[in-house]
Chain A
Amino acid sequence: MNEEYSIEDFANNLLDGATRCRSCMQCYSVCPLVESTYGFSTQGPYGILRSIYHGIKRDFDESLTVQDRQVLRNILYSCTTCGACDIKCRTSGSGVSVVELIEGGRKLLVDEMVGPLKNQKTALKSIWNRGNPYGMPAADRLDWLKSFSEKESLSCKIVPDDGEVDLLLYVGCTASYEKSIQDVACSLVTLLEHMKINYGILKEEECCGSPANRIGDNRLFSDVSYKNTKKFIEYGVKHIITISPHCYNTFVNEYTDSMKEIKIQHYTEFLSDMMEDGRLDIAKEIAKKITYHDPCYLGKKNNIYDAPRKLLKGIPAVNLVEMKRNRQDSLCCGGGGGRMWDEVEEVTRLSEIRLREAMDVDAEIIATACPWCHIQLQDAVQDTNNESKIVVKDIAEILVEAL
């Protein structure tokens, strides 16, 4: 929060935004919280918005107890920020930016030291100190590349040491550090090598700042986004592809205009273009029934629904089936909104509901294009002992299998 703009101004703006809701409450009908919790009124968009409203008003007259503030914090941080409510509100004609208001409420809580949740604090601290939310050493960030054996000489350049590149692969924290997702990064490298792209990876890549924005740490986000933007410009980066839809969304929608000169794509968009141009030639058949889970930050937030499907359909013999809820109606996996870093009350895990939806259409593979969706769904498969029936794979991994 900058100095000219006081907390009170910010709170008043949130109040104004919250009052624009006309209380039709139809946002409850699409909210993943409603179906994964006990469904109390505060466990859905309208209730969260009203809680912000009452929280601010009662804070002004100092009638909130410490316990009330903690409850408010838990209410606000339960949201996955999937954006289903925003779409519902927009199509009904109202167009209240519910998620923006919820994230604004979180910023207020962080400023007043009520938020975030305990483990989210640790994640934010780790971004400050190590450039990633996982508490991992910055020096280990490129270790995943070691999985390529020495005889596989990679053309991958390390930016800026190896000079300029046509394309920068922004790996992101999860694909860099999470063992189960490192394969996705490796798959992307394999595909880029296969297509003979002049590409590279940052030598000192750092978090894009998405978790800071979701959790409400404005200062951290400003710091991270400034550093990253400076780095991209300094290194002459012209084209970035991201593995995570969260990084993509942050670069495209949340960084300043100084990034406007850089072409930013989610990797599925880039590969889809390559497939269309004939540079990504897929020869091998994969005779499997595959369903695609739309990540919220790719689909609902950025309208990227077709590119991932096009890639899957481009693989010979793939039988692509849609789950009952797909595209903008797709159910959130539960991993967004800062929920990757702390336990949020769930009666039925969203990822397990989503898994059931995939199994209802007899899919053998759930394909996705987001590291967090991947982790959430993978956990659901394991926890429900369904490993023999269905597997979770990133689209990049499936494409490599089909090369």
Chain B
Amino acid sequence: MNETEFAKVEKVANQLKGIVSEEFVSTTLFERIVSAEDTYPYELREREIPYAVVKPGSREEISEILKYANVEKIPVFVRGSASQLAGSTRPHTHGIMLSIDRLNDIKIFEDYNFFECGPGCIVAKVDEKIGELGYFLPVHPGSRVIARMGGTICNNTSAHIVDTSIGKLGDYVLGVEVVLPNGDLLETGTKSMRRPAGTDLTKFFVGGDGLLGVITKIRMRLIPDFKYSYAVVYFDNVRSLTKGVQKMYYEKQPIPLIMEMMDEKTARIGFEVKGMPPPPGAVILFESIGSTAEEAAIKREKVIQSLETENPLLVHRIEDINEWRAIMSTREVISSFLSQSSGMQWKSAEVIPNLKYLPEAAEECEHFNEGLPICGSLQNYLYAHIGAVSLHPGILVPRDWDGEKQREAYTELFEREAELTLKYGGCGGEWGQFSKRTSFFIRRYGKVGYEFVKSIKKTVDPNNILNPGILEGYR
């Protein structure tokens, strides 16, 4: 850091300390670097290291920070747990790193049938808290023990939950409190059970990719928890597996809440890590839901009925929750285990095809990186939130590649993801639309679509203070 930058750090920190208590501002080199890193392995460039990290405790403090940032034209980057996988939490220039961790209250209003929580609440903790009262949280990311509600709302992701089963997270958001980029405070939505018809301000922020405001409170409807019924089904190959999933839709079966798949190669790894006998083929794991156990079991049978038309190798109905958890854990350990055992970095893509061409798309994903100039020779694996028709081809990227080569490799993988998703007419369903996906957005929705979003952003944030780089497509 040169003297000018050092002076800037001092100045910014002093201003921030006038807004929040001193202990909630950090300017140490290590905090500034680490707070700006995300799940990507390459290092920050020097110009990307924030001036300071601040942890405001209220929306009023956030408002003051944004007002100050507008006056000084300093970018503000909002950070939850940085587990977003399309690069939205990584800054592309110096600025203020604003952590929403401290906004982590949760209040449950059963008489209103909603709960309110801060964006800093950890997803798993909210799940546990409302779960104690018999309610269900409609978002289930792999990162749930660290992911924060604010991030999931900004992405409007239901993660592993099948959208066509119960809808997306945003379908349950009744309203939000937001600090706009200029520091103005806004409350959206309703406290009633019915969400607004017509213009619903909430929709600018839920799934808004963090472009238009800092969410400071979330109000969500309480959903009664379900009863569950589980099964695992093995197929000879991915094609018959995906055709089975098509049949489930075509035969109008009740869609499971969770429906995961792994190709045989990938499943073998997960099963071995968890000390289970090798699977006979590609695997589908699913959980059906109902208001009673009987209803859930009936729905499970209906799904199995469709899958059986594709001649699975084995259908195993699971009655013991511990067995289900064990078998689901085979899916959850794959990326971590492969990263560690290979000494490489796991990177998955998210390819979202249409239903009609799911088998073809899955086959292409089994050879996802073939022919790519940088990543063409790397190992490829395949798993999927198959019930949501969402495919995750995964690649192991050598960690001894230098930072620039890694950046190019990840860009190449995102381009390949874009190519396939465009081919099949889909769009990102889990990780947001911009950052590393901006070029996809432009190709998918054209210049008109992109300019439309840019014009909204410019109106709300004329100085481009809040989370700059996301919309522009920083890599």
Contact = CB atoms under 8 A, between A and B. Distances in A.
Contacts of B335: 22, 93
A41 B53 contact: yes
A93 B340 contact: yes
B461 interface: no
A68 interface: yes
Nearest to B142: A24
A40 B29 contact: no
Given A24-B143, A25-B146, A40-B53, A96 B340 contact: yes
Given A29-B122, A29-B146, A71-B30, A22 B53 contact: no
Interface string A313-350: 00000000000000000000000000000000000000
A92 B146 contact: no
A38 B24 contact: yes
Interface stretch (A49-57, A249-257, A393-401): A49-57
A28 B79 CA distance: 15
B336 A94 contact: yes
Interface stretch (B31-39, B70-78, B258-266, B382-390): B31-39
Contacts of A24: 39, 83, 143, 336
Interface in A57-109: 58, 64, 68, 71-72, 75, 89, 91-96
A38 B23 contact: yes
Interface string B110-148: 000000000000101000000000000000000101100
Contact of A23 (B26, B41, B53, B145): B41
Interface residues of B, number: 42
Contacts of B83: 24-25
Contacts of A23: 37-41
Contacts, number: 104
Contacts of B340: 20, 22, 93-96
Contacts of B457: none
B101 A39 contact: yes
A122 to B, nearest CB: 26
Contact of A93 (B29, B102, B273, B399): B273
A157 B39 CA distance: 58
A119 interface: no
Contact of B34 (A42, A91, A95): A42
A46 B55 CA distance: 19
Interface string B337-371: 11110010110000000000000000000000000
Contacts of B145: 26, 29
Given A19-B399, A47-B34, 7 more contacts: A23-B41, A41-B34, A47-B30, A54-B29, A68-B28, A93-B338, A95-B337
Interface of B: 23-24, 26, 28-31, 33-35, 37-41, 53, 55, 81-83, 99, 101-102, 122, 124, 143, 145-146, 273, 332-340, 343, 345-346, 399
